[in-house]
Structure 1
Amino acid sequence: MQEPKNDPPSARTRTPRSNRERTEATRHALLEAARALFVSKGYGDTSTPEVSVAAGITRGALYHHFVGKRDLFRQVLQRESQSVREDIVAATPPDLSPQAALTVGAQAYLRAMTVPGRTRLLLIDGPAVLGLSDALAIDEAHAGDTLYEGLTAALGDAPDVDIAALAKLLSAAFDRAALEIDAGADAQRVREAMGWLIERVLVASGG
């Protein structure tokens, strides 16, 4: 009688990946490959065949998950902006006062934007490729939303202040600060200047 095979423990316990896991793995590989190419070559000089080759995935699979290069780029930006939001949330635990959370979150944003390629993707190529309104919408749904929430909590019922308008103006200032740092400015001085600006906003509102 033939003896039963003694498969290695890893072979006996390994389970096949579900369709959802395979789908997520494929999307992840495509987004990672696309991000690297968009950063190194720019949107205009990156092609979907290059992305497919870099990801090790067929071009047909790419178009199964994304409508085209522009949709792929949009998804890269949304994921990048979501990562910025997650970094801000992680840096501002709930036991902080609203005023401290606003100050700490502001610095967390500037740190998050130093991830290589992030400033170019979100603040330069994003508006150029998608248009300013679409790029701003992505920001307002993620990092910009944390700024609005932080201002609302920190300022409370501050008189004569439109918090939504203030959030957009401060967001523009933070974006410019991130661009300055990315261009080689003294990061510490830029962060201190933005911290000063946030303090002035809190003082002016009585916060």
Structure 2
Amino acid sequence: MVRPSTKSEGPQRRRYAKRLAPADRKEQLLDAALALIGERGFADVSIAAVAERGGVTRPVVYDSFAGRDDLLHELIERESARLRAAVDRSMAGIESTAPHEDRGEMLAAALARFLAEVRAVPDSWRLIYFPIDGVPAVLRERLEQARDDLRAPLSCTLGQWLSGKRGAEEVDVDVLVRVIQGIIHTAAQLVLDDPDRFDIDRIITMLKEMLLRAP
């Protein structure tokens, strides 16, 4: 008696990843690496791990990146560019010519936009606002530089906000910038760590109390 053939017999055919354009494949693999970093830290990110997470073979990853260091370098460059673009979008609409009484509202609105950016892509912002194990020294320096890039637009905006305020000439803007940057840092951590408890409206309400009650 001849046994009927079944689909389960014989070698299983390998499932291949969907073919993507080179630029799209690179973005997909960078996203896979970013997710791995968020879950395990930098130390556990390897070409093999990224390939597995991305559903491709290692040669496919090597088609896009020379190696692990190249992949991580491009990832940090991409995330740093995202941070700068997010800051620019957040600061858009703050006008130095606005009436002084409106500038506190503008600063609060800018922070609300920034925190919305943080909440939209949490894995990206965790690189900036949370310590992650195994960050290579050169990448740590790049991340710190990206965070420090916030100071220039913040200094300009706070200088405009202080313009015309009573006693403004006695304010050390450099110190004020770092204090406000610390507040932004904490606010971003709250939004990332416990967004249901610390929603953006709650944080902005507190900030407005600080800005609008200032003498």
TM-score above 0.5, yes or no: yes
Matched, 1:58 2:61: yes
Q: Deviations over 1:130-157 (max 9, x none)?
A: 667643321232x444322211222237
Q: Which structure has greater helix proportion? A: 1
Distance 1:86 1:194 in 2: 20
Task: Answer 1 or 2: higher relative contact order, Cα 8 Å, separation at least 6.
Answer: 2
In structure 2, which of residues 190, 193, 207 is the aligned counterpart of residue 194 of structure 1? 207
Q: Deviations over 1:24-50 (max 9, x none)?
A: 545434433322322233322222333
In structure 2, which of residues 122, 130, 135 is the aligned counterpart of residue 124 of structure 1? 130
In structure 1, which of residues 105, 109, 115 is the aligned counterpart of residue 110 of structure 2? 105
* Greater mean alpha carbon deviation, residues 129-138 or residues 101-110: 129-138
Distance 1:150 1:76 in 2: 26
Deviation of 1:76 after TM superposition, in Å, equals: 4.2
Structure 1, unaligned runs of 5 or more: 1-21
Ranges of 4+ aligned residues in structure 1 off by more than 6 Å: none
Distance 1:162 1:126 in 2: 33
Q: TM-score scaled by structure 2?
A: 0.64
* Greater mean alpha carbon deviation, residues 68-77 or residues 105-114: 68-77
Residue 163 of structure 1 aligns with which residue?
173
Deviation of 1:88 after TM superposition, in Å, equals: 0.5
Q: Is residue 177–residue 190 contact of structure 1 (8 Å, CA) maintained in 2?
A: yes
Q: TM-score scaled by structure 1?
A: 0.66
Distance 2:49 2:97 in 1: 46
Matched, 1:174 2:184: yes
Count of matched residue positions in the alignment of Structure 1 and Structure 2: 178
Q: Secondary structure at the match of 2:177?
A: helix
Distance 1:163 1:95 in 2: 16
1:189 partner letter:
R
Distance 2:206 2:73 in 1: 36
Q: Secondary structure at the match of 1:129?
A: coil
Matched, 1:151 2:158: yes
Distance 1:199 1:86 in 2: 23
Q: Which has the larger radius of gyration?
A: 2
Residue 136 of structure 1 aligns with which residue?
144
Distance 1:192 1:168 in 2: 21
Distance 2:111 2:97 in 1: 14
Distance 1:43 1:96 in 2: 45
Q: Is residue 107–residue 191 contact of structure 1 (8 Å, CA) maintained in 2?
A: yes
* Greater mean alpha carbon deviation, residues 106-115 or residues 43-52: 43-52
